[in-house]
């Protein structure tokens, strides 16, 4: 079945540091890939997505590239801010669509001044 | 635009008792989801509704869990009788289409003692 593996947290960075959160997946066919973010006290929300190989999703300074050859979708940001402190979830949906998402376990990011 | 509303936010019960959670999706969203998120794990889909019909309930423990979506709007998730391992956050989400963008509520945290 489908599965998502992401790096364990918590990850603690200083403001303006470079961020990478690793995500790899196992799936049949060509799934769509997502990063969701959960800010403190809020529900999960879509951060970015990519629907086919070599696509790059981007939003709010975050980027992730769909790498089929390495089955990866790593999240990156060049300069993090305190306001980026949150839990980040990597997810995929079945190749056939239908919005059935499989989530990773989440990575907590804490950004300090 | 109002987001996904859930209640109650917190519930503590004894094992073998029953509990019900309520969800009101974003207006006009045809698809509604219930996810279970156990501490340290990613959200797991329990059930997906399209309007008032069930699309996927393959991971719903039907001996104790039930869900309904009358009139294709609000939904209720019930657990009876509860077990210790049901302690989790129950997330409701809704979507307008099938592009992978789900809108989540803040969740209902259940503790079973």
A80 φ/ψ angles, rounded to the nearest 5 degrees: -80, 155
Average per-residue pLDDT for chain A = 93
Q: Is the pLDDT of residue A96 over 70?
A: no
**A82 three-state secondary structure:** helix
pLDDT at B1: 67
Instruction: Please state the rounded mean pLDDT for residues A85-96.
Output: 90
Q: Do A97 and B48 touch (CB under 8 A)?
A: no
pLDDT at A41: 87
CA distance B110 to B12: 6
Q: Is B98 on the interface with A (CB under 8 A)?
A: yes
Which of A46, A89, A98 is the closest to B42 by Cβ? A89
| Alpha-carbon Rg for chain A in angstroms | 13
CA distance A107 to A93: 19
> Nearest C-alpha of chain A: how many angstroms from B103?
6
Instruction: Please state the rounded mean pLDDT for residues A84-91.
Output: 96
Which is more confidently placed, A99 or A5?
A5
Q: Is B57 on the interface with A (CB under 8 A)?
A: no
Instruction: Please state the rounded mean pLDDT for residues B73-86.
Output: 97
Query: Taking CB atoms and an 8 Å cutoff, what residues of chain A touch B105?
Result: 43
pLDDT 10s digits, B25-52: 999 999 999 999 999 889 999 999 998 8
């Amino acid at each position: 079945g489908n599965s998502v593996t992401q790096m364990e947290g918590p990850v603690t960075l200083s403001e303006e540091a470079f961020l990478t959160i690793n995500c790899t997946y196992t799936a049949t066919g060509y799934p769509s890939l997502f990063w969701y973010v959960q800010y403190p006290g809020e529900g999960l929300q879509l951060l970015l997505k990519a629907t086919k190989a070599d696509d790059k999703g981007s939003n709010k300074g975050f980027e992730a590239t769909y790498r089929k050859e390495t089955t990866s979708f790593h999240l990156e940001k060049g300069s993090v801010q305190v306001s980026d402190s949150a839990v980040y979830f990597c997810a995929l949906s079945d190749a056939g669509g239908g919005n059935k998402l499989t989530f990773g376990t989440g990575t907590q990011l804490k950004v300090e001044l | 635009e109002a987001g996904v509303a859930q209640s109650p936010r917190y519930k503590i019960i004894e094992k073998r008792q029953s509990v019900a959670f309520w969800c009101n999706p974003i207006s006009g969203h045809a698809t509604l989801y219930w996810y279970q998120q156990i501490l340290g794990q990613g959200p797991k889909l329990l059930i997906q509704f399209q309007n008032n019909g069930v699309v996927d309930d393959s991971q719903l423990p039907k001996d104790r869990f039930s869900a309904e979506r009358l009139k294709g709007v609000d939904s209720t998730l019930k657990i009876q009788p509860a077990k210790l391992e049901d302690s989790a956050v129950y997330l409701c989400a809704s979507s307008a289409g099938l592009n992978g963008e789900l809108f989540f509520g803040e969740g209902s945290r259940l503790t079973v003692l």
